[in-house]
Amino acid sequence: MVNTGYTSGSRPLRVGLTGGIGSGKTAVADLLAAQGAAIIDTDAIAHALTAPGGLAIEPLRRAFGPSMIGADGAMDRARMRELVFADPQAKSRLEALIHPLIGQEAEREAAERQGVYQVFVVPLLVESGRWRERVDRICVVDCDEATQMQRVQRRSGLAPEMIARIMNAQATRAERLAVADDVILNDGGTTPAQLADRTLAQHRAWLQRLPSP
Ligand code: ADP
């Protein structure tokens, strides 16, 4: 019998997967999905919430005014990014509006999804502070900053100054490691094959934690 991680009256094992921009969260999540984990991607949820017709659009319009909603009906991301970089209070207001909606949607998805266990991919898990009680394990994809910078530059072509701004607004490597239950190292010396091996080893360790069928 396949151990689905579900027993009557209990919920499946929940892992919160985090790491800085370019650390390799998506790469790890893809590898875990191939092993049968249900992936709940809070970045994708945030995008859907702020897309045309998304649940956050009307609250955003009320809180920030119509100029933050583009002609297509989506949140104007570039404009919002500039606002929150310049104004910490606006950043707090945006987070107070969007984080509960992300949490709610993540729970809704989790209730609908099967999987050996569940992985919530949360880029700002350490920063937002509300995830500790939602997950059983916090897993950090760990990477040095120089490699993060290189990977993001290669992937997105963003200017180094913009990447540095994003990284400075995120928790530090040490802050993430301080709250990690599990760590998958994906630094500059890590090959894709090594990342796959380390992820599989972590997957097996989580399987050991599942309730017996
Ligand atoms: P995140 O989701 O944390 O921002 P990604 O998983 O998208 O990071 O990884 C960032 C970029 O670096 C992607 O283009 C990915 O393919 C690449 N990458 C990640 N890990 C490695 C690695 N060990 N070796 C080479 N490229 C990698």
Q: Whose CA is nearest to atom 9 of ligand 1?
A: 24
44 falls within a domain: no
Q: Is pTM, for the whole model, over 0.85? A: yes
Range of weakest confidence among 44-53, 108-117, 175-184, 204-213: 204-213
C-alpha 86 to ligand 1 mean position (Å): 29
Shared domain for 139 and 205, answered yes or no, is yes
Residues 135-155 pLDDT 10s: 999 999 999 999 999 999 999
| Domain boundary pick from 79, 114, 149 | 114
CATH number at residue 91: 3.40.50.300
C-alpha 151 to ligand 1 mean position (Å): 6
43 falls within a domain: no
166 falls within a domain: yes
Shared domain for 90 and 169, answered yes or no, is no
Residues 18-44 pLDDT 10s: 999 999 999 999 999 999 999 999 999
C-alpha 24 to ligand 1 mean position (Å): 4
| Domain boundary pick from 90, 114, 138 | 114
Q: Whose CA is nearest to atom 18 of ligand 1?
A: 24
Shared domain for 33 and 53, answered yes or no, is no
| Domain boundary pick from 114, 140, 160 | 114
Shared domain for 91 and 195, answered yes or no, is no
Shared domain for 146 and 207, answered yes or no, is yes
In the predicted structure, residue 213 carries a pLDDT above the cut 90: no
C-alpha 5 to ligand 1 mean position (Å): 29
Render the chain in DSSP notation, one character per residue.
----S--TT-PPPEEEEE--TTSSHHHHHHHHHHTTPEEEEHHHHHHHHTSTT-TTHHHHHHHH-GGGB-TTSSB-HHHHHHHHHH-HHHHHHHHHHHHHHHHHHHHHHHHH---SSEEEE-TTHHHH--STTT-SEEEEEE--HHHHHHHHHHHH---HHHHHHHHHHSPPHHHHHHH-SEEEE--TT--HHHHHHHHHHHHHHHHHHSPP-
For the chain, what is the domain count?
A: 2
* Ligand 1, CB cutoff 6 Å, lining residues: 19, 21-27, 151, 155, 186, 190, 192, 195
Shared domain for 26 and 107, answered yes or no, is no
Structural domain span for residue 68: 49-114
